[in-house]
Amino acid sequence: MNLTSYMPVRIISGTDCVKNNSDVFKSLGKKCLIVTGGSSAKKSGALSDVTSALDKCNIEYSVFDEITENPYTEDCRRAGECARNCGAEFIIGIGGGSPLDASKAVAIFATNAEMKHSDIYNMNYKNEPLPIVLVGTTSGTGSEVTGVSVLTNSDNGMKKSIGGVYARVSFCDYRYTCTMPYAVTVSTALDAFAHACESYFSSMSTDLSEIYAEKAFSLLAEGLEYLYSSKDIPDDRIREILNDASIYAGLCLNITGACFPHTVGYALTEDYGIPHGKACAAFIPDFIKICAENKPEKSQRMFDIMHTDKYSLCRMITELADINITVSAAQLEKYRTRWVDPVKNFSRTPGNFTSDTAVKLFEKFI
Ligand SMILES: [Fe+2]
């Protein structure tokens, strides 16, 4: 039996879960800072549900809504300063992966005034972060249930993750995802699939992470197939399936961490502006082929759960990711020095995956 795991987040799920559990906020303090991006928190209805719950509990709040996609360390530091200035006792992150990931860094900066933006990667802070509450509005990140936060270094534009910062509470209500446009729905669903798939075949996988991953596969089989064949935004039932899948995928990712598609996918986001989920999915067919060679029985189990085969699954992922880029020779050279073995996510990948193998994967885009 291998059930080794750590997941300290209190998950509250279901329709109207914010409204029905406003008491949760009361226990965290009298003032808070809401951290969001541009519009999805408002459009989804999540922001107004949260502010109504805070009003009901007589909790004061300020809003920092300047978190961009692939959030910058300096913006998180500024938000932390804002939290200090308004006397926030806890942080509420509302949105997709970017605001949720940013909130984790903001909670650290809020209590550690001396930290420069890039110090966040050292995770060598003196004071405990503020408590964090997360409300997701997309169906991909899994940030609600992981300790991971992926931040873009404001000094060099490179994405890098920190770990071990968990929310105190995460609210999961699929209705907040219903305003996502088709393209975002596809990209976030691909991100969830990448999490489940990378976790399933990781050398770190456990009995528990496999149970979560297999549950995510069974839900994503229907969700991805719908997005692939209909080319249209889903109805409520599929929205709920995709949201549930993203949480199960987050739970397995939390145990194992990712494999190479996430690491190399960052480069496509940084250099070509490809959204995170599609950027990881660009390498998922390569990953599936490597896993089929090295772990044939486990691969067959995934195909069986998803009622598919290697060829059909890879074709669906490739077409949904829809990557149209050209990597120049100069760019390829840059990637040769980007990853220096040992890379954690490479060594967790089945087979002997090295930074040389990673660079070769980009040759298909030349
Ligand atoms: Fe991801």
DSSP string computed for 30-85: SEEEEE--SSHHHHTSHHHHHHHHHHHTT-EEEEE----SS-BHHHHHHHHHHHHH
Q: Please tell me the distance between residue 29's alpha carbon and the centre of ligand 1 in angstroms.
A: 31
Q: Please tell me the distance between residue 23's alpha carbon and the centre of ligand 1 in angstroms.
A: 31
Coil, strand or helix at 205: coil
Q: Please tell me the distance between residue 305's alpha carbon and the centre of ligand 1 in angstroms.
A: 22
Question: Residue 274: its pLDDT value, please?
Answer: 97
Q: Please tell me the distance between residue 280's alpha carbon and the centre of ligand 1 in angstroms.
A: 7
DSSP 28: T
Question: Residue 38: its pLDDT value, please?
Answer: 81
Which one, of 148, 105, 351, lies nearest residue 252 by Cα? 148
Please write the tens of the pLDDT for every residue from 319-356. Answer: 999 999 999 988 999 999 999 999 999 999 999 999 99
Q: Please tell me the distance between residue 262's alpha carbon and the centre of ligand 1 in angstroms.
A: 6
Question: Residue 39: its pLDDT value, please?
Answer: 85
Q: Please tell me the distance between residue 114's alpha carbon and the centre of ligand 1 in angstroms.
A: 30
Instruction: Provide the residue type at 280 as one letter.
Output: C
8 Å CB contact between 186 and 223: no
What is the number of other CB atoms lying within 10 angstroms of the CB of residue 95? 30
**Whole-number Å distance between alpha carbons of 180 and 193:** 18
Q: Which regions in the chain score pLDDT beneath 70?
A: none
Q: Please tell me the distance between residue 93's alpha carbon and the centre of ligand 1 in angstroms.
A: 17
Q: Please tell me the distance between residue 59's alpha carbon and the centre of ligand 1 in angstroms.
A: 33
In Å, how far are 13, 47, 139 from 134, measured between CA atoms? 12, 11, 13
8 Å CB contact between 287 and 259: yes
- For the chain, domains (ranges, CATH) are 10-177 (3.40.50.1970), 182-365 (1.20.1090.10)
List for the chain the helix, strand, coil content (%; round to 5). 55, 10, 35
What is the number of other CB atoms lying within 10 angstroms of the CB of residue 48? 12
Coil, strand or helix at 1: coil
Q: Please tell me the distance between residue 170's alpha carbon and the centre of ligand 1 in angstroms.
A: 18
